[in-house]
Every structure is written in structure tokens, then in C-alpha cells.
Structure 1
Amino acid sequence: MALPAISPYPMPGEADLPRNKVSWTPDPKRAVLLIHDMQNYFLNAFTPGQSPVTELLANIQRLKQHCAALGIPVVYSAQPGGQTPEQRGLQLDLWGPGINGGPHQKQIVDALAPGENDILLTKWRYSAFIKTGLLELLRERGRDQLIITGIYAHIGCLQTASHAFMHDVQAFLVADALGDFSLENHQMALNYAARLCAVTTTTQRVIDELRPATAQGEQPLSRQQVREDVAELLLQGPSEIGDDENLLERGLDSIRIMSLVERWRRTGAEISFVELAERPTLTDWYALLSSSARGVTATSQGQSHRPS
């Protein structure tokens, strides 16, 4: 009933992501980063210094630093040691007594030690929402997005994403910031989440999307950024999409268009769903975004020169 020894396997990356059914975008004002069960007890099952654990630690570190810099709350879940049979519940039948009563196994790994401003939740079941106060914490802070990292992908991380969905919290399962028993289990978690309860994504994509809103009067989105944002949602290479190709016929549905509207509005663009849907080409969209930026600039300049 002990944890299995985990053989090295390649960490999934951008090319391994399943197609997401929804197109949510993480927002610095709405998100919380969850570092799930990164304790010595669970990490000891991996082969040190090899994939996936090397990428797992490095990518969670990157996300934590980025979220902290943006003021995004960082929450840790950690199971207690020395649980009684009553506390352990049915997990005792499947996994045995779990973490012992000593200080080492229950510790968060040194590479990810919580900072003084981080939040630590004691976790009792697979899902980080059960008996922890996580949902109440999100609601108190006005947050409705959860970026999920840690271990194990197909057990606690997936269950947490599923519970998030059932509480109307948008979950983001960061594929290359998760660890699992095997690549098969890891990929199964991603496939399930993408179909039924979450967005699967990567560390770099989350960092890119969690960019602060652009100040008024700054330069508009570049043509290349517009192309890359569209290509990302279509799961295609940027070079595969023609400038004047009808993006609706290419498979860009209304949910994905709304995701783009939300994303581009955060950069200061004044655009609407109707405008994008009526002129669904990269050429037209870049023209819309450029004119929107010029309009914002002109308005800002007019206000700044208005006599008091």
C-alpha cells in the first residue's frame, strides 16, 4: 500500500497538451496559485535529478516567483503526519497510514519552502477543497481562478480541478508543473481535465498570459502577438494561419473569440465580440486593435490637455 517507486519519464510540454474545451485565460486579479502536496514524502518516490522532477521543481519555482511579483496569492496544501485511522479515513485502505509522525516527511521540499506571505492549508483528502477552507479563502479574496501545480496529477491535482469546476472556479492545470506515477497517468489527467473541468496549459503560457494590463497610450499589440494568440487557441503553428483566412471556418468558435476579447481588453484594447465575429481575419483584427489603441491614445491625450 506504500507509494510506488516512480521511474523517470519525459515531462509533457506544449506539443503534448490536449485540445481544451474552454478558453479561459488567467487574470492576475482573479487567480490564486496552488502548490499541491510538494512534500518530501511524495517527492521521495521520484528519481532525484531526472525528469519529471527536475522540470517540476523548476517550473513551480518560476510560477511562484511570477505570481508573487504580481501580487497573486500563493497557497500550499500539505498533508499532516501521524494521522489517526479516523483522520485517515478510507485513504488508509488504499494507501496505508501515509506520512509518519516525524518532521521530515511532512515538510515542503526545500526548493519550494513557503515564504512569510504564503498560505499553508492542512489537507486531509485527495481534493484541496475538502476540509481545508480553500473555497472560503477564494471567496473572501474575490478570486475565482485556481492555477494548479504539484503532485500527483491524476489524483489530488485532478480532483482539485474537478471540485473547482463544481464551485464555479476556473481551474488551470499546468502540465509541466505537475508530477505523476507515470507519463500515462500524467497524460490521462490532462485529457480528462481538458474535456471536463479545466484548461490545460504550460508554465510559459501562464507567465505570458499573466501580464499586467497595458497602460493607456502604450503601443498596440504587435501583429505577431495577435497571430500567436489566435494560433494558441487553434492549437496550430502561427505560420499555418493565413492573414486573410476566415478564422471561423478554421475552427475559432464563439467561446475562443470571447477568450481573445478578454485577453486583449486586458492590454487596453477597446474591442467587442461582435467586431471580431463580423470580420474574422487576422488582417481585420490587427486593424481593429490598432485603431482601438489609437483611439485610446487620443482620448488620453485629450483628457490630459483639458483645461482645469
Structure 2
Amino acid sequence: MALPVIKSYAMPAESELPVNKVAWTPDAKRAVLLIHDMQQYFVDAFTAGESPVVELIDHIGQLRAKCHELGIPVVYSAQPGGQTPEQRGLQLDFWGTGINGGPTQKQIIEPLTPAPQDTFMTKWRYSAFQKTELLDLMQEQGRDQLIVCGIYAHIGCLMTSCEAFMKDIQAFLVADAVADFSAEKHRMALTYASERCAVTLTTGRLLESLDASAEGSDSVGANFSEARSHTAAAMESDEISTGSGAPARLDALRVQVAELLQEEPALIGEHDDLIEIWGLDSIRIMSLAERFRVEGTEVTFVDLAEQPTLASWAVLLSAQPHRVMPNGDYF
């Protein structure tokens, strides 16, 4: 009934993440960071100095620092030591007595010691919402997004994400800031979450989204008129219709964007503002930028966000070196 000895395994890369069913975007003004059960007792099950625990601690540290910088509340959950059988409940049957009554096992690990402004919360069951003040804290601060990191992915982290969903709170399970008994259980947790209750994303993507939301939409909005003028000028000079590879790219882009939006390609006009009309958010724009980068073009998130139409993107991509993919599409 004790915790297993966890063998080293690699943290999942962004290319290995499951496809999210929803496209929620982390917002610094709506989010709370939950650092879940990063106690010595649970961390000791991993091999010190090896993956995934090295990346786990580093990425949680990055998330916490960004949340402190942006004024996002940080909440720590931790199980108490020396629980009585009544306090332990049915967990006693599955996991035994748990953390002992001494001072060491129950402590948050030293690299992640809570800061004075952080909230420390005693946690009694898998979900961090059960028998805790987490929901009240979020409601009092008008927060309806929960960023979940910590251990273990397929137990407390996943159950907390599920319960967040059932309370109409958007959950973000940070794929490389959680860890588990094995790569298989880690992958299972991410797949279940992405298909049923949360958005899964990497630490890097989450940090980018929080920064973008904190900066606001003013800079992007200010560039919309310039972007539209650029597109209009391109149309007048027949750049869209005659540029090398642009028609093929336009068709391929329409299909890619339609898949992300879960819409019929024919419904999306080449000059539709994909952000304002179709609700294309920063996470999906970043995923497109990353896809284009992998496929050999140097187009950034800012490039796409400033010119959010299929026509503009076709022009941008036409100006980049490209190669023909196996299905005949141009990128």
C-alpha cells in the first residue's frame, strides 16, 4: 500500500501532448496557481537528480515566479502528517497511513518553500477542492481559472482538474510541471484531462499566455488596422492571387484553421478576422506558429496575431522558404 519507487522517465515534449478538445486561454486576471502536494514524502518516491523530478521542480519554480510577478494568487496544497484512521478515511485502504507524524515528510520541498504572500491549504482527499477553502478563495477573488501543477498527475492533479470542471472553473493541467508513477500514467492523465475536463499545455506556452494576457490586447488591436491595410494593398497588387505558392497555402491554411475551430472550411472567408469573428485564441495561434516553424517557416505568434486572416497568412508564408509536404500541400 506504500508509494511505488518511481523509475526515471522523460517529461513529455510539446509535440507529444494530446489534442485539447477546448481552447481556453490562461488569463492573469482570472487564474490561480495550485502547487499540488509537493511534499518531501511524495517527492522522495522519485530518483533525485533525474527526470522527471528535475524538470518538475524547475518548471513549478518558473510558474510560481511568473505568478508572483503578475499578481496571480499562488496556493499550496499539502496533506497533514500523522492522520488518524478517521481522518484518513478510505485512503487508508488504498495507500496506508500516509505521511508520518514527524516534521520532515510533510514539509513542502525546500526549493519550493511557500513565500509569505502564498496561501497554504491543508488537503484531505484526492481533489484539492474537497474539505478545503480553495473554492471560497477563488470566488472571493473573482477567479475562475485554475492552473494545476505538482504530483501525482493521475491522482490528485487529475481529480482536482475534474472537480474544477464540475464547478465551472477552467482548469489548465501543465503537462511538464506535473509528474507521476510512470510515463504511461502521466500520459493517461494528460489524455483524460484534454478530452474531458481541462486544457493541457507546456510550462513555456502557459508563461507566454499569461504574459500576453497581462499586457492586454491593446498592442494587438492597435495593429489590426495596419494589418488590414497591408492585406488590402496586397490584394490590389494581386499578391494573394499571383504570389508563388499562395493559392495552395490558402487552401491548406483554411483546412488547418477549420480543424482547430471545428468548423467547415468553406465557412471561413479568406479575409475574415479569425480572432474577432471566429474566436481563434492565443493558444491555437501559438500552436499554428509552432507547426509552421517545425515545417520550416520562420513565422512568429506576433506575426499571425497582427494579421489574423487567411489571406494575410498566405502572404506571410509565401514570402518564406517552403517545401512540399507528402500530401502535396505547400508550407
Whether the aligned pair in 2 keeps the contact of 1:35 and 1:148 (CA below 8 Å) is: yes
Q: 1:200 to 1:217 in 2, by over 3 A?
A: closer
Q: State the TM-score, normalized to the length of structure 1.
A: 0.77
Q: Deviations over 1:261-299 (max 9, x none)?
A: 8999xx9xxx9xxx97xxx51517999xxxxxxxxxxxx
Q: Deviations over 1:110-142 (max 9, x none)?
A: 010000000011000000000011111111100
Q: CA RMSD in A?
A: 2.9
Aligned position for 2:9: 9
| Paired residue secondary structure (2:250) | coil
Structure 1 Cα separation of the partners of residues 208 and 248 of structure 2: 24
Q: 1:243 to 1:65 in 2, by over 3 A?
A: farther
Aligned position for 2:230: none
Aligned position for 2:310: 281
| Paired residue secondary structure (1:245) | helix
Tell me by how many angstroms 1:245 deviates: 3.5
Which of 202, 215, 232 aligns to 1:213? It is: 215
Q: Deviations over 1:32-81 (max 9, x none)?
A: 00000000000000000000000000000000001110000000000000
Structure 2 Cα separation of the partners of residues 138 and 286 of structure 1: 44
Aligned position for 1:20: 20
Structure 1 Cα separation of the partners of residues 311 and 115 of structure 2: 44
Whether the aligned pair in 1 keeps the contact of 2:23 and 2:283 (CA below 8 Å) is: no
Structure 1 segments, 4+ long, off by >6 Å, are 261-264, 284-287
Tell me by how many angstroms 1:249 deviates: 2.5
Q: 1:217 to 1:61 in 2, by over 3 A?
A: closer
Aligned position for 1:260: 281
| Paired residue secondary structure (2:130) | coil
Structure 2 Cα separation of the partners of residues 120 and 80 of structure 1: 12
Structure 2 Cα separation of the partners of residues 183 and 131 of structure 1: 30
Structure 2 Cα separation of the partners of residues 152 and 118 of structure 1: 21
Residue ranges of structure 1 left out of the alignment (5+ in a row): 224-240, 288-308
Whether the aligned pair in 1 keeps the contact of 2:23 and 2:284 (CA below 8 Å) is: no
Whether the aligned pair in 1 keeps the contact of 2:25 and 2:282 (CA below 8 Å) is: no
Structure 2 Cα separation of the partners of residues 32 and 242 of structure 1: 43
Q: 1:141 to 1:286 in 2, by over 3 A?
A: farther
Which of 247, 250, 255 aligns to 1:244? It is: 250
Structure 1 Cα separation of the partners of residues 82 and 248 of structure 2: 60
Whose radius of gyration is greater, 1 or 2?
2
Tell me by how many angstroms 1:244 deviates: 2.6
Structure 2 Cα separation of the partners of residues 282 and 182 of structure 1: 45
Aligned position for 1:30: 30
Aligned position for 1:156: 156
Identity within the alignment, %:
56
How many positions carry a matched residue from both structures?
259
Structure 2 Cα separation of the partners of residues 285 and 32 of structure 1: 38
